[in-house]
Each structure stands twice: as C-alpha cells, then as structure tokens.
C-alpha cells in the first residue's frame, strides 16, 4: 500500500488478452508474463489505477515486490525470454549473450514517476563549468537540476534539457569555488515530482584550463 492508500501487487499471468490492463507499458509477450497492478479500494467498488504486463515471448515471473519512499514500484523475478524488454540495463542481453544458456536470468524493474540511474561524468573540477548527463526515466521539459549537500543547494544547473522520451537530462553546473567533496544531484519536474541521486557527483580541486606559452625571439 502506498502513501495514498492505493494497493499494489505483482506476480505472473498466462491470461493474455483477458488480464485487465490500464496504461500498460506493453502488450502480452507470450507464454507467462510478469504483471504489476495498482488498485484504489473504495466503498462498494474498486478502481484500477495502473496495470501492465512485463516480459518477452517466453516465461517471465514476478517474484519480489516493493515500493520506495516516492511510491515507485520495484519488481524482481526470473525470465526465460531472450527478448525481455530492458531500459538503462546493466546487462542488455539474455544470459549476457551466451549462445546456449541454461536456466533463467534474474531481472529487476522499476515503474513509477522516474529515477536517476547514472550520472556522467561522476566528477568535475572546481575551476569552471562541467556538463553532466543524467540517465534514468521520467525527466520532463522544464525540469531543474541542482547539486545539493545536506539538503541545501550548492550549484544550480544551467541549460537544462530533457530528451523527448524522458530518459536523459543534460545540465551544466558552474563549479567555480565549490568546495571539493561528494554531492547529491536532484531533479525537479515542473509538476514538483523530484528525483535524488545521493552522493552521485564529486567535485575535485582544480580541473580548469591550462595555458602554455613558448617565447621565440632574438637576443
């Protein structure tokens, strides 16, 4: 159950077109698919808020389920599908590309408002500006990006731009005179939805442009 009282559950279904869907991220993949659903219980009736299949053309089973503090849905399980859908994956191929794998692969998936998965580069010098790219999900046009320490803003992102699919966000930070150390990166969408990547960016001393000069002349 989330902070609003909605009830969530996950598991597996072989029902194909019979399983109730709402804003599904995909159609039935085949055989067995993992499922995730959200319902709003009410007096005398129950509303379906969100419901989706997750899987490829073979067997996919949801086994572990949790909600985080921002009500994002986390689902883990096992898959035998070589075409299991992946986004921002640590391993993009089933069995890591092994030609004749045995058994299943584990999977971990997240649904919800969004997240920051990776910050690149993960460090920058305090002698100028650094442009970073955030990979994740749920970034919207008009979002802001901020470096924070202990909840306080240290540097505000400039020229912030989200990709059309919401999977990446680019921002430039002026790190001039920012104290060396590790900082949080926070993204806030126009609807105030926020994502935080704790301790994900490090400011190091120096790193600015260097100038060399050779003097050539006659005595």
pLDDT digit string, tens, across residues 197-218 = 889 999 999 865 555 566 666 6
4, with CB counted inside 10 A (0-12, 13-18, 19+), is exposed
Q: Are residues 57 and 153 in the same domain?
A: no
Domain assignment present for residue 1? The answer is no
Q: Are residues 99 and 11 in the same domain?
A: yes
pLDDT surpassing 70 at residue 77: yes
Domain assignment present for residue 210? The answer is no
Range of the domain at 170: 115-204
For 104-129, how does the pLDDT look when each residue is reduced to its tens digit (9 = 90+)?
899 999 887 667 878 999 999 998 99
| Burial 10-37, CB ≥16 within 10 A → b, else e | bebbeeeeebebeebeeebbbebbbbbb
**Per-residue pLDDT, 211:** 53
When pLDDT is averaged across residues 146-152 and rounded to a whole number, the result is 94
Q: Are residues 36 and 128 in the same domain?
A: no
Q: Are residues 107 and 121 in the same domain?
A: no
**Per-residue pLDDT, 2:** 79
Domain count, the chain: 2
When pLDDT is averaged across residues 50-72 and rounded to a whole number, the result is 89
Q: Measured between alpha carbons, how far is 143 from 160 in angstroms, rounded to an integer?
A: 7
Chosen domain end from 111, 127, 162: 111
Q: Are residues 69 and 165 in the same domain?
A: no
Confidence of residue 135 (pLDDT cuts 50, 70, 90): confident
**Per-residue pLDDT, 33:** 95
Confidence of residue 1 (pLDDT cuts 50, 70, 90): confident
Domain assignment present for residue 218? The answer is no
Domain assignment present for residue 216? The answer is no
Q: What is the percent of the chain where pLDDT is above 70?
A: 92
Q: Are residues 123 and 198 in the same domain?
A: yes
């Amino acid at each position: 159950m989330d902070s609003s009282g909605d009830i969530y559950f996950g598991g597996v279904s072989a029902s194909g077109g019979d399983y109730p869907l709402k804003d599904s991220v995909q159609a039935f993949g085949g055989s067995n698919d993992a499922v995730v659903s959200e319902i709003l219980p009410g007096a005398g009736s129950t509303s379906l808020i969100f419901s989706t299949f997750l899987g490829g053309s073979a067997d996919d089973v949801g086994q572990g389920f949790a909600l985080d503090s921002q009500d994002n849905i986390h689902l883990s399980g096992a898959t035998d599908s070589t075409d299991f859908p992946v986004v921002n994956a640590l391993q993009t191929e089933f069995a890591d590309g092994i030609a004749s794998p045995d058994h299943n692969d584990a999977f971990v998936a997240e649904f919800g408002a969004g997240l920051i998965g990776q910050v690149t580069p993960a460090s920058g010098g305090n002698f100028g500006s650094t442009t970073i790219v955030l990979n994740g999900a749920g970034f919207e046009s008009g979002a802001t990006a901020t470096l924070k320490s202990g909840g306080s803003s240290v540097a505000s992102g400039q020229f912030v731009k989200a990709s059309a699919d919401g999977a990446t966000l680019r921002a430039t930070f002026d790190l001039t005179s920012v104290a060396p150390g590790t900082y949080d990166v926070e993204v806030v969408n126009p609807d105030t939805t926020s994502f935080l990547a704790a301790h994900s960016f490090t400011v190091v001393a120096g790193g600015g442009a260097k100038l060399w000069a050779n003097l050539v002349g006659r005595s």
